[in-house]
């Protein structure tokens, strides 16, 4: 009897010491459990690309530390104009930036025309500035819910993308609203823009028509000034040749050859497509950006160099074509 007690208490004691050591270890080492996420949302397999497609490399960058970059554009002299919040900067050929204009509300988009006029899109106003910095006009003929996300200027056309009202406003270059493009119209076979988040970009083609991203459908749509939809292309896929997520591409720009440069969120990548929608080359892959970067605004200069606005790293990143070896 005594002996049994003895054995039992010894076992208990050993167990107690064991538990003490075990729990002591768990508390001092931090976690007892596993350290990987069994429910990881994994898109790693879509982050790569065939190296033969990567024709571009980052050549330079311009730092804007501490600035909340929102938009960029190039004027006809290939000079960069960059917006960060309410401030607009000019960047000279030596990549020195200087504050140029301060607006009343945050800048959402920028564009220039061949005379050097700068069009500044705020939430629901477009301001037109002379190259000397004086304000020339203020266009406010927009619906109440307007959220302007992009402006493109041609010889006699100004197209303004409005994510809030899901239309493109078409003005003449004196600021008179002519019509709105892209409203859903089954008779004219216009599907209507699907814009789940405020990313809605457009660019103007040589013939004066406008290419508009329909981000919810992952398509590019080509509208004539008359409002007719004349062409469209797009592919929904996470693979390198497609666009995915709720709203991609978020930004586009056009090269001198009429090719499209696109940027995406979710899988942060920049690619070049032919006018007909064929993937031509890859500029940058997700590994080159911080995870979760959104708002990679794009511009292309006359030599085909691609300027990317990276709001997460607070800099303008410049990608040039790699030398063909």
Partner 1 sequence: MENPSNNSKVTRRRFMRDSVRSVLALGIGAVSGLLIGRSTKQNIVWQLDPEKCVQCGRCATDCVLDESAVKCVHAYDVCGYCELCGGYSKPDAHELDTAAENQLCPTGAIQRSFIEDPYFEYTINEKLCIGCAKCVKGCGSFGNGSLYLQVRHDRCVNCNDCAIARNCPGEAFSRMPSDRPYLLKGEQGLT
Partner 2 sequence: MKKLNINTSRAGLFLILFIVILMIGSSAFTQNRFPKPEFESDYQQSQTTTPDPQAQIYEVMDLFVLFLMLVLATYFAHRKRSRHALFILAIVSVIYFGFWRKGCVCSVGSLQNITLALFDKSFMIPVVVVLFFALPLIFTLFFGRTFCASVCPLGTVQELVLIRPMTLPKWLSRILGLFPYLYLGLTLLFAATGAAFLICRFDPFVAFFRMNGSLDMLILGAFFLVTSTVIGRPYCRFVCPYGVLLGWMSSLSRTHVTITPDECIKCRLCENACPYDAIQKPVPEQNPENRKTGLRRLKMLLLIAPLVILTLGWTFSRLHPLLSRVHYTVRLADQIQREDSGQTDLTTLESQGFRSSGTPTKVLYDEALRIQKQFNIGGWILGGFMGLVIIWQLVGVSIIRHRKDYEIDRFSCVSCARCFNYCPREKNKKKTKVNE
Which residues form the interface with partner 2 (CB under 8 A)?
A: 5, 8-9, 12-13, 15-16, 19, 22-23, 26-30, 32, 35-37, 123, 145, 147, 163-164, 194, 196-198, 291-292
- Nearest approach in angstroms of CB 287 to partner 1 is 15
Closer residue to partner 2 in complex, CB, 27/114: 27
Closer residue to partner 2 in complex, CB, 92/290: 290
- Nearest approach in angstroms of CB 30 to partner 1 is 9
- Nearest approach in angstroms of CB 33 to partner 2 is 9
Is residue 218 at the binding interface for partner 1, with CB under 8 A as the rule? yes
Tokens 């106003």 sit on residue: 125
x-or-dash pattern for partner 1, window 266-305, by CB under 8 A? x------------------------xx-------------
Q: Which of 251, 301, 263, 296 is nearest to 75 (CA)?
A: 301
User: Any residues with CB less than 8 A from the CB of 223 and at least 6 apart, and which?
Assistant: 168, 181, 182, 209, 210, 212, 229, 230
257 binds, among partner 1, partner 2, none (CB under 5 to 8 A by kind): none
Supply the DSSP string of 173-216, one letter for each residue. TTS-EEEEE---BGGGTB-----SSS---EEE-TTS-EEEEETT
Per CB under 8 A, the list member of 2, 45, 104, 325 interacting with partner 1 is 45
x-or-dash pattern for partner 1, window 131-170, by CB under 8 A? ----------------------------------------
Closer residue to partner 1 in complex, CB, 61/197: 197
Rounded Cα distance between 200 and 202, Å, is 7
Give the count of beta carbons closer than 10 Å to the beta carbon of residue 66: 7
Sign of CA dihedral 161, 162, 168, 171: negative
Q: Which of 228, 277, 227 is nearest to 249 (CA)?
A: 277
Closer residue to partner 2 in complex, CB, 23/76: 23
Closer residue to partner 1 in complex, CB, 45/51: 45
Give the count of beta carbons closer than 10 Å to the beta carbon of residue 275: 17
Per CB under 8 A, the list member of 1, 2, 39, 324 interacting with partner 1 is 39
Instruction: Show the beta-strand stretches assigned E in 202-258.
Output: 202-204, 210-214, 219-223, 229-234, 251-254
231 binds, among partner 2, partner 1, none (CB under 5 to 8 A by kind): none
Rounded Cα distance between 168 and 64, Å, is 31
User: Any residues with CB less than 8 A from the CB of 122 and at least 6 apart, and which?
Assistant: 103, 104, 105, 106, 107, 108, 148
- Nearest approach in angstroms of CB 166 to partner 2 is 8
Restricting to residues 17-36, name those near partner 1 by CB under 8 A.
31, 33-34
Q: Which of 265, 65, 71, 35 is nearest to 151 (CA)?
A: 71
Closer residue to partner 1 in complex, CB, 32/136: 32
End-to-end CA distance of the chain: 90
Is residue 241 at the binding interface for partner 1, with CB under 8 A as the rule? no
Give the count of beta carbons closer than 10 Å to the beta carbon of residue 268: 23
Is residue 100 at the binding interface for partner 1, with CB under 8 A as the rule? no
Q: Which parts of this chain interact with partner 1 (CB under 8 A)?
A: 31, 33-34, 37-43, 45-46, 191, 194-197, 216-218, 236, 238, 244-248, 265-266, 291-292
């Amino acid at each position: 009897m005594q002996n049994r007690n003895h054995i039992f208490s010894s076992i208990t004691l050993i167990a107690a010491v064991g538990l003490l050591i075990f729990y002591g270890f768990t508390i001092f080492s931090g976690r007892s459990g596993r350290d990987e996420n069994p429910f990881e949302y994994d898109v790693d397999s879509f982050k790569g690309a065939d190296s033969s497609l990567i024709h571009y490399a980052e050549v330079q960058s311009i730092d804007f530390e501490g600035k909340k970059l929102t938009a960029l554009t190039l004027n006809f002299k290939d000079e960069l104009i960059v917006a960060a919040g309410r401030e607009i900067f000019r960047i000279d050929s030596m990549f020195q930036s200087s504050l140029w204009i301060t607006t009343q509300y945050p800048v959402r988009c920028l564009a220039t025309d061949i005379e050097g006029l700068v069009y500044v899109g705020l939430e629901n106003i477009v301001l037109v500035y002379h190259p000397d910095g004086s304000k020339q006009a203020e266009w406010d003929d927009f619906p109440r819910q307007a959220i302007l996300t992009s402006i493109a200027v041609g010889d006699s056309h100004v197209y303004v993308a409005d994510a809030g009202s899901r239309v493109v406003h078409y003005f003449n270059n004196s600021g008179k609203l002519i019509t709105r493009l892209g409203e859903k119209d089954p008779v004219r076979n216009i599907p209507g823009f699907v814009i789940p988040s405020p990313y809605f970009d457009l660019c103007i083609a040589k013939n004066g028509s406008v290419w508009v991203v329909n981000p919810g459908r992952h398509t590019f749509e080509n509208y004539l000034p008359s409002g007719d939809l004349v062409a469209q292309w797009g592919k929904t896929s996470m693979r390198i040749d497609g666009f995915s997520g709720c709203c991609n591409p978020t930004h586009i720009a056009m090269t001198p050859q009429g090719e499209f440069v696109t940027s995406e969120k979710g899988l942060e990548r920049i690619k070049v497509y032919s006018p007909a929608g064929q993937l031509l080359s890859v500029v940058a892959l997700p590994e080159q950006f911080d995870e979760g970067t959104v708002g990679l605004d794009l511009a292309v200069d006359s030599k085909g160099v691609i300027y990317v606005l990276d709001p997460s790293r607070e800099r303008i990143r410049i990608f040039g074509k790699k030398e063909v070896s």
